[in-house]
Chains A and B, each alone.
Chain A
Amino acid sequence: MKRQHTNNLLYLFILTFSLFLMGCWSYRELNTKALIAGIAIDKAQNPELIEVTAQIIKPGMMKTAQQKSSSEGGTTTGKPVWNIKGEGRTVFETLRKATHISNRKLFIAHNRILIFSESLAREGIKKHLDFFIRDHESYPTIWIIISQKKASALLDTTTQLGNVPAFSLAESIEDERATSQAPIVDLHDFSKKLLNKTACPIAPLATVINVGQDKYAKFGGTAIFKGDNVVGKLNNRETRGMLWVINKVKSGIIVVNCADGKASLEIMSAQSKIEPQIIDNKLHLTIQIKETSALGEYGCNEDLFSPANIKKMEDQQNLIIYNEIKDVITKAQELNTDIFDFGGAFQRKYPKLWKSLEDNWDEYFPQIEISIQVTSKLKRTGLSKFIP
């Protein structure tokens, strides 16, 4: 009985002391962190160094315009972000160096985009990517963007909707699924391709355009990597051609001719099937595309409800898709970059033979004979029958 009593006293003693403990020793409150929204990596003047720009959110200024005008009389101007720049030999070193300027330590876990300038990416980005894969704070869900001009310029762009340029960039890259004219690539997809011996990584291209005084970021096109170097670019049309093949087209508009005008078809769904074959020691490949679309706009006076008319538009649609794919395949074979992961298709079907193909894939890939079959259907016609 007495023992029990002593024990209870001991517990009470320990509990009382725990009140004076401060918690984890590596605790960091939100107001001691500098939250990074986006990172841009450029070449520096000195060829040995790189320039890293980190966009830091200023939480105090993250208010809506209405609140701003009511509470402070519209006196605060400028964006609620601070672009901190530094030069260094490695990404990690440069990011740490930012603490010389910043009064808070940079916190990378909320980073959403990673921009490389094209000139840097032409020299290889593997060594700069490693930090983002290895570090425990960084997530594999960040978007990869290749900037055609200076990468840090994208972080300085104007945003009409939303306050933080980096977040706007992240949102607009996610919206690219509406046009399918830029690939949507996160670090996870990119590193997966990077580790594949034959497949070539891709990344969306962005550039800065001037509209009057303002600068806006504009997406479109694809950067093609061989290994970890950019070796070529695809324009918007070729990008959609590539996305048809790798089964990533979600939506988009196809414009076809009708009798005396034009009609726009909206892509509703698309599936691709790649069937490799080896005939007489030659590599053949059949790409089958099945697409359905809806009539979104019809600018002709012809009667819409004639089967021949629908058929005409479907045929044109087939041809447009066919040409998009054909052009991009020709380009990829010229550049000798397997952006479609055709190697993987052969590996899955001919695992034994693949061992000899893999090492000489650069010789085989441009020689593959490719046939494309497109079947598309126009399924919906919308709410009206013809131009009223």
Chain B
Amino acid sequence: MEQLEKGKISTSQLILLTMGLLFASQQILASIFAITIKDGWLAVLPALLEGLALIIIIGALVHKFPHKNLIAINDLVFGSFFGKIVSLLYLCFFLSIISFNLMYMGTFMLFLMPETPNWVFILFFIGLSTSAVRNGIEVTARTASILTLIFLVEIPFTIILLINKINFQELLPILNIPLIDFAKTSHLVYSATFGEAIVLLMLVPALNNAKDIKKSFLWAFIIFTPLLISIIVANITVLGESAAVFTYPSLQVVRTINIRNIIIRMDILVVLGELSMNFIRITIYHYCLTLGTAQIFKMKTYTPIIIPLGIMAIILSFSLFKNTLEYRSFMTNIFPLYSFPFEGGLLILTLVVAYLRPSLKK
């Protein structure tokens, strides 16, 4: 099958791209703390196990269908009709993720500029991602690499500034919540971080070395996990019980920095991180959504549908939720279930069908 976009990315770029995608998930901190405060950081480890299982599934699929992306795999496994239906479901999921993130960024930026209407930020984001998608995956991956590297430096820098606020006693006692709540939290972490790596299965044809996708996911997950844990631990140890109160816990943590009235008002660190990481996430989803749609409808070029799909995402982001509270309760209670079929369920089904269908056996 011919590739719609000719861009190629290397393994190291894929690692940084994956990490950028995962780092945009700081918004789940508020959802985690709504369920448990002291064990929030521990819940990352079971989530990592789920993520490793996902890597195995993805690896098996890529091994069986080399150089095919998600849409092409669905076509091969489920037949051209049911395959298209499954692919469309995936695309709807991608679209909804874009609009969730737009909604989140639209309201997040209001804290900086409260008098600016949030459609300004949403338009700005879609405008940026449109331009990135138009320029192709190579440009996006290069930008994402730089932004992710900056963010990687920013995390330890912020934590060093926080050192005298950190009180490790807040972490105790460990594992003092019902097991069901703990499982809920770790699946929440999985669904908003590691599970999202599924979207990168759309990029398989763009990889220089498609066999490396397993290795690069593994590296990305292994670097990402301790950093996510340290972010969550910083939140817990600085905020303590009050972590449950704040809409943006990380922001609140950075706002408490006060070193002799000289180093204060460091909120901009968090804002920069959120802006750049959410830009990467929205762009990746926008790119995959556009290419997937073009592929399903067998279009010759994908450029004409970039803007219409962006507009669809904007409209969805305005109409899905009435206010921030509704969005937060959705993220905490419904999103882990809503995303499960797309972040694992359907993939397992695909793998099973692929091994059972006689026509696909070699």
Contacts and interface: CB of A to CB of B under 8 A. Distances in A.
Given A25-B116, A192-B239, A140 B252 contact: yes
B176 A139 contact: no
A257 B242 CA distance: 46
Given A25-B116, A26-B113, A26-B116, A140 B255 contact: yes
A162 to B, nearest CB: 13
Given A24-B113, A192-B240, A347-B173, A139 B245 contact: no
What's the dominant secondary structure at chain A's contact region?
A: helix
Contacts of A122: none
B197 to A, nearest CB: 33
A195 B33 CA distance: 14
Contact of A192 (B114, B242, B255): B242
Nearest to B238: A188
B256 A141 contact: yes
A351 interface: yes
Interface string A186-206: 101001100110000000000
Contacts of A139: 255, 264-265
A139 B261 CA distance: 12
A351 B241 contact: no
Contacts of A133: 245
Contacts of A127: none
A344 B202 CA distance: 49
A104 interface: no
A136 interface: yes
Contacts of B244: 195
Interface string A328-352: 0000000000000000100111011
Interface residues of A, number: 22
Contacts of B240: 192, 195-196
B169 interface: yes
A192 B169 contact: no
B262 interface: no
B229 to A, nearest CB: 20
A186 B252 CA distance: 14
B258 interface: yes
Contacts of A192: 239-242
B172 interface: yes
B115 A26 contact: yes
Nearest to B247: A134
Given A141-B264, A344-B169, A24 B241 contact: no
Contacts of A348: 169, 172-173
Interface in B273-299: none
A344 B169 CA distance: 9
Given A192-B239, A192-B242, A195-B241, A136 B114 contact: yes
A287 to B, nearest CB: 15
B111 interface: yes
B118 to A, nearest CB: 13
Interface string B171-200: 011001000000000000000000000000
Nearest to A348: B172
A196 B241 CA distance: 6
A65 B117 CA distance: 46
A233 B263 CA distance: 33
Interface string B197-241: 000000000000000000000000000000000000000000111
A139 B239 CA distance: 14
A118 to B, nearest CB: 25
Contacts of A351: 173, 176
A349 B111 CA distance: 39
A142 to B, nearest CB: 10
Interface string B107-127: 000011111100000000000
Interface in A164-212: 186, 188, 191-192, 195-196
B271 to A, nearest CB: 11
A191 B173 contact: no
A306 B172 CA distance: 46
Interface in B130-182: 169, 172-173, 176
Nearest to A352: B176
Contacts of A136: 111-112, 114
Contact of A195 (B114, B245, B257, B258): B245
Nearest to B240: A192
A25 to B, nearest CB: 7
Contacts of B256: 140-141, 186, 188
A133 B245 CA distance: 10
Nearest to A347: B173
A124 B114 CA distance: 30
B150 to A, nearest CB: 24
Which of B112, B116, B169, B256 counts the most A-chain CB atoms under 10 A from its CB?
B256
A40 to B, nearest CB: 21
A141 B169 contact: no
Nearest to B116: A26
Contacts of B239: 192
24 contacts: A25-B115, A26-B113, A26-B114, A133-B245, A136-B111, A136-B114, A139-B255, A139-B265, A140-B252, A141-B255, A141-B256, A141-B258, A141-B264, A188-B256, A191-B245, A192-B239, A195-B242, A195-B245, A196-B241, A347-B172, A348-B172, A348-B173, A352-B176, A354-B173
Interface of B: 111-116, 169, 172-173, 176, 239-242, 244-245, 252, 255-258, 264-265
